[in-house]
Amino acid sequence: MALSSIFNKVMSGITENFKILFFGDITGRQGRNAVKSYLKGLSKAPDFVIANIENASHGFGLTKKNYDELADAGIDCFTSGNHIWDKKDVYEYIENAEKLIRPINYPHGTKGLGCRVFDVKGNKFAVINALGRVFMPPIDSPWTIVTDKIRNLKEEGIRHIIIDFHAEATAEKICFAKYLAKEFNTDENALVKCFFGTHTHVQTADEKIYCGMAYITDVGFCGAEESVIGMEFATSLKRLSTSIPERYEIAETPIAQINAVEVEINNSCAIAVKRVNIMVDNNESEVNVNSRGEVCCEG
């Protein structure tokens, strides 16, 4: 770009906007197929697509085959959670999987990375994945680790940071998001542009822009609609009603639901957030939207 063009752009106050699409936990083949169908049906691709994939391979973990499949479908970054280690071949490919991150607060020396920096339209975007500790397996505290990482990224000149906080308790997600926003953001200048809660597979209706940061407590999940958070009803019922251990089985139904969040940001802050909640018939080539439609919240 010519110097005169850059000067005119700066003087006119024009800022570049970026559209980000984040898919809630992809669960099993139904979730994978639904997400691929949804992306294929978009009239215009987002600038950056992220998906939580810790349940993508038959409900537990991620195989190399499914990693390649989803990467080819147009997903730019894969976040995960406590189930990332459930498929043993992850240990063989995670070091070389340039789109995949695991929670940053696993102990030092754990394979893989908890943060990656991506190029989006010539701009550096950092994505951090972290695990919560309330009602979750023992893990290092995310509070200090994530805070230190954000400070390091800021020193490196990163201006756009996205968080996937994989946690059970809504209070922990809300508190952590508010803490990071107050620590690093103002309404006009946000370093942490997006905070997405994941893990529960149930989409919350509290999307908002807080201190310049797009926020939702839980994005939800992508998988079989007639299920118990993606799993077979019968096995879930037996396990939950008797307390006797029972292996969960992925639900096999053609109708899948897609839970996602669309966010628009500029160089300074998030400017719009929209929750996506639709149905996809995996037996059809077209994407079908059910009566729930989409809910939009713009700031």
Residues 6+ apart with CB under 8 A from 151: none
How far is 42 from 129, CA to CA, in rounded Å? 26
C-beta of residue 231 within 8 angstroms of C-beta of residue 249: yes
Q: Please indicate whether residue 199 is annotated as part of the active site.
A: no
Residues 6+ apart with CB under 8 A from 152: none
Per-residue burial over 186-207, b = 16 or more CB atoms within 10 Å of its CB, e = otherwise: eeeebbbbbbbbbbbbebbeeb
Q: Are strands 192-198 and 213-216 parallel, antiparallel or unpaired?
A: parallel
Residue 43 CB: number of other CB atoms within 10 A? 4
CA dihedral 62, 222, 35, 287 (to 10 degrees): 160
Of residues 58, 83, 160, 201, which has the active-site annotation?
Answer: 83
Residue 138 CB: number of other CB atoms within 10 A? 5
Q: Which residue has the tokens 């990224």?
A: 153
Q: Which residues are catalytic?
A: 83
